[in-house]
Structures are given as C-alpha cells and as structure tokens.
Amino acid sequence: MSPLELDFDSCYRAVSARDSRFDGRFYTAVTTTRIYCRPICPARTPSSRNVRFYRHAASAEAAGFRPCKRCRPELSPGDPGWDVRGDLVGRALRLIDDGAADEQGVAGLAKRLHITERHLHRLFVAELGVGPLAVARTKRLLLAKQLLTETGLPVTEVAFAAGFGSVRQFNATMRETYGFTPSELRATAGRRAPEPGADDEAGPVTLRLRLHRREPYDVDGVFAFLASRAIPGLEVADRTSYARAVPGGTITLTPKPDHIALDVAVDDTRQLARVVARCRRLLDLDADPEAISEILGQTSLGPLVAARPGLRVPGTFDGFELAVRAVVGQQISVAGARTLLGRIVARAAAPGGLFPTPARLLESDLTGLGLTNRRIDTLKDLAARLAEGHLDLDGGQDPAEAVAGLLEVRGIGPWTAGYIALRALRDPDAWPTGDLVLDKRMAALGIPQDHIERWRPWRAYAALHLWSSS
C-alpha cells in the first residue's frame, strides 16, 4: 500500500489481522457507530460495507466520526509516510505537531513555510481532505483526550495545555466533536478529578504521559547514543533513562516494555504539545523499521540490519543545539565535544539552564573555552543566520534549502551539513560525507564506497548501522 494512497482491500485486510505495522498509517471509521479506530483495535472487525478509511484522524473527525475509547487513536505512533517527507505538507504537519498553528494561527504557519494561507489550505485539502485548521483542532482534542485519560491535571489546565484559548471553547469543541464533555470523559476513564485547591499549589505541574512507538525499537541503541553525547549541565542520561532541561521545566524519558514514559515538570502547560512532539522526534518513535529493513537488508548492510532490525536515528530537541553540537564536534572525539559543549552551556546557558539561543550565543564571549578562533567564528556566523531568520532548523525550511544555507556558513562543510540534516532536519537519506569512522567501518567490512548510493532513501539509517557496529 502506497504511503499516500489508501487501497480499501489492503486496509481491510490489515484491520482484520490487527496488523500493528499499519498503526498510525490510517484510521478505520464505522458508519453504524460513528466511531473511528486504529487498525489494531481489539473490537470485533466491522462488516466491510460499514467501513470507511481515512489517512488522518482529522479527516475522520471532519466526516463526523469520534475517536474510539478502547483503542485510543491519540496513542497511535505518527504516520511514517509523513514523518520522512520534506515537502510543504509534511513540514506543515510537523510544525502543527510542534504547536506552531496554536501559537501563530494558520496564517503564521503559512508565513513560516513562505507560502500563502490559501495555497497551504489547498495543499492540505488535496492530500488529506481537510484544511490545516481542522488538523490542528484534532491534534488539540487528541492531546486533551490523552491528558484527561492518563493524568489528574485539572480540566482548566488540560484546556490550555492542549492549545485551547478558553475552557468554554474547550468544552464546546469537545461536546460538538465527540459528543461528551471533558468531565464526562474523565469519569468514564476512571480518572479521579483532583481535590479542590490541588492545582493552586506553587511550583511546576508534573505529569506522566505514554509515548507509543513503532516496533521493533532498539531501546538500548537509542539511549546509549544519547548517553554518550549528553552535555554536562544540560542532560543526564544512561541506557535506562534520559533527562534534560526544557523551556519552563524538565523532562525525563524512560523506556517501558511497549512505550516510552515521559515525565514532565513544567511551569506552563501550554508548552506540552511541543514537548511531546520534540520527544517523539528525539527518539525517532515514528520511523518505519519494516520499510528501512526491506531496503537495507538486501544490501551489503544485511548482517548489520538483521542484528539490529529496530535501529533508529536519534533526533534532537532543538535544531540550533544540534547544529552547535555538529560544529563543535568537527574532527574531535565524542568525549572531547561533550567537554567543550558543557563549557559553552556553563558560560552561556539561557535562564533555566537551557541551551543558549542563537541570540544569546551571539552575545556570549566564547574565548577561553578551548575553542579555536575559527570555530568560534563559525558558531557566531551560524547563530546570526538563525537569529535573523535566514535558516530554520526546526522543520519550517525545505531540507535541501537548509543544507544549502548551512554550506554558506564559514566553517561548515559537507560532513557537518550532512550530520545536521541527519539528526535535526530528520532527512532519512542524509549522509555525512567524509566521516572517518564510516569510512573505516566500510573498509573493515569490505564495503565499497559506491554502495552508499544503494542505500537510498535510507542512508541516514545506514550511517547509524555502521556507527553502531564499531
């Protein structure tokens, strides 16, 4: 089944088999119950004459269906077809996940993509059958549904955390779309409302959410990768957990048998949607291991793929942070880069212990940290381009254009740009040209250099397989 087209017979077979490989790829709507489900829903498979299939949850909701309380569509892993697309719709969907539409509206979303609001709407309707406003609303509702079901967060906080402007709007939208109020959903979920005054205490709001992943998932590989690169003063990580400072608080990610537990402590719950989206990208939870293995497993990487079928490409929580990591890490060891990055954080950290923003790095004195003058110039040039809006490393810019812009920065060459594309831009075909470790591993395994082209469109995952094999 094509990632962008729905074949009724293929979808129905997947639903009948409760095939987890299709979870998140489409949604099954039942005309007799007016409910839509994930392909893995444990309920009895409906008759084919009563079924409709939709590419996105927003499309199902726009057609008048409400989410199943049993299989909980809000827990679906993201669609890998959209996750790897660098076109306008794919980038717009990632920005909506990141909360861009909630903060800036659809007009602001279109502006960030450098197109008109009308053109963006036209693209969404052609691809999904609904506009970006409907997609953003569904995203808010599903996040609210998860918060109501899994946490004791007061309804007022849930409304703002999910991106609604008021509790009245939240109640009205949920009743209109789902047919029940937030309080009614919480009662049926068996979640007890907090005691009166429980939300009046000073301090950050703390809660735990489940982040579902697509299996197989190489937990050890992902967490070991992050642990070896954890920046002192910003991150604390080992093979069993990953914690870091985020705007307004902290997060901790802990692997569980069938999901990742996200523990959040934030002063402003309106940041929650962005935190969830960036954690998913950091851990590469929405990748399609079957599609990756199908291509790479038939090449000279076959033995490595068979040994680690669920390997992922760890992303980043912030694009600028990753770009600085890449520049600092040029031609030095991972341990050496960690030391220098820790010094940068100690010298220039933003309030709350956060990694410095581009504007803050521009203002900071980076001399005396062990960085060469040329490396400092590169960091300053990079920061200036992001601060002025010439570069966008968090999803708004076409990956090819972003790479071209990176190559214009003094001191950034193909390896650095490729590494940034691989982790920050989420380009599944990015390749860090000239990486000495990759060259050595390929030579040790007897893999000719011309095999790199055979690994398209998954060269980023090929690079991780080679790095992980050393």
* Tokens found for residue 342: 């820790």
CA–CA gap between residue 227 and residue 162 (Å, rounded): 31
User: What does the longest C-alpha to C-alpha distance in the chain come to?
Assistant: 71
- What's the one-letter identity of residue 268? D
Contact (Cβ atoms closer than 8 angstroms) between residue 255 and residue 219: yes
Q: How far is CA 241 from the centre of its chain?
A: 18
CA atoms within 13 A on the CB side of 183: 6
Q: To which H or E segment does residue 81 belong?
A: helix 80-83
Contact (Cβ atoms closer than 8 angstroms) between residue 308 and residue 287: no
CA–CA gap between residue 349 and residue 327 (Å, rounded): 18
Contacts of 203 (CB under 8 A, 6+ apart): none
Active site residue 37: yes
Tell whether the torsion through CA atoms of 91, 97, 100 and 102 is positive or negative: positive
Give burial (CB, 10 Å; 0-12/13-18/19+) of 309.
middle
What is the three-class DSSP state of 111? helix
Active site residue 102: no
Catalytic residue among 98, 286, 427, 435: 435
Catalytic residue among 11, 37, 41, 68: 37
Using alpha carbons, list the distances in angstroms from residue 399 to 88, 218, 352, 386: 11, 26, 31, 15
DSSP state of 436: H
* Catalytic sites, residue numbers: 37, 435
